[in-house]
């Protein structure tokens, strides 16, 4: 994925697409920082995590800009988010997430909230395709109903 982002950056430079160039350069900088921190090559899952973090930062900025009616900045951030989301895998549907949670519950057979960590560890395999905060809420609700 990292190589694909670099190739796309070069392509956008040739096309002189200034907006895409700036967004991809910001993304590349974030990936380079993660690469330095990790001191090893990034896996696709780690690249996805960095992209998700970039999207989340922009979503948080949108929330702040909405408070001050900064419509042009909001529009710009939405374009950046759309460009970044092109690099993310397709999100899992709610039914797929529920099915995976049910599978993990059948495997782990939790008895109390003490098993929450074990369940979430098993569900890490879907972290690149879904919002884990939503998954966490669903797991808590399901454990509470045991």
Question: What digits encode the pLDDT tens for the residues 49-68?
Answer: 999 999 999 999 999 999 99
Judge if 49 and 70 occupy the same domain.
yes
Per DSSP, the residues of 82-141 read HHHHTTSPPPPPHHHHHHHHHHHHHHH---SGGGHHHHHHHGGGGTTTS-HHHHHHHHHH
Asked whether residue 146 carries a pLDDT value surpassing 90, the answer given is no
Domain range holding 116? 94-144
| pLDDT of amino acid 45 | 87
Question: What digits encode the pLDDT tens for the residues 67-109?
Answer: 999 999 999 999 999 999 999 999 899 999 999 999 999 999 9
Task: Report the number of distinct structural domains present in the chain.
Answer: 2
* Rounded average pLDDT over 122-138: 91
Judge if 6 and 76 occupy the same domain.
yes
Q: Find all residues with CB under 8 Å of 42, minimum gap 6, and list them.
A: 2, 31, 34, 35, 50
């Amino acid at each position: 994925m990292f190589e694909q982002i670099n190739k796309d950056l070069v392509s956008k430079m040739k096309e002189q697409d200034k907006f895409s160039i700036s967004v991809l350069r910001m993304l590349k900088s974030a990936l380079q920082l993660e690469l330095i921190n990790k001191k090893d090559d990034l896996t696709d899952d780690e690249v996805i995590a960095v992209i998700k973090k970039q999207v989340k930062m922009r979503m948080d900025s949108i929330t702040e800009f909405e408070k001050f009616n900064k419509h042009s900045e909001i529009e710009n951030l939405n374009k950046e988010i759309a460009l970044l989301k092109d690099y993310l895998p397709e999100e899992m549907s709610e039914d797929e997430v529920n099915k995976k949670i049910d599978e993990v519950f059948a495997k782990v057979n939790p008895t109390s909230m003490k098993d929450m960590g074990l369940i979430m560890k098993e569900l890490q395999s879907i972290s690149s395709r879904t919002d884990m905060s939503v998954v966490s809420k669903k797991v808590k609700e399901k454990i509470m109903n045991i």
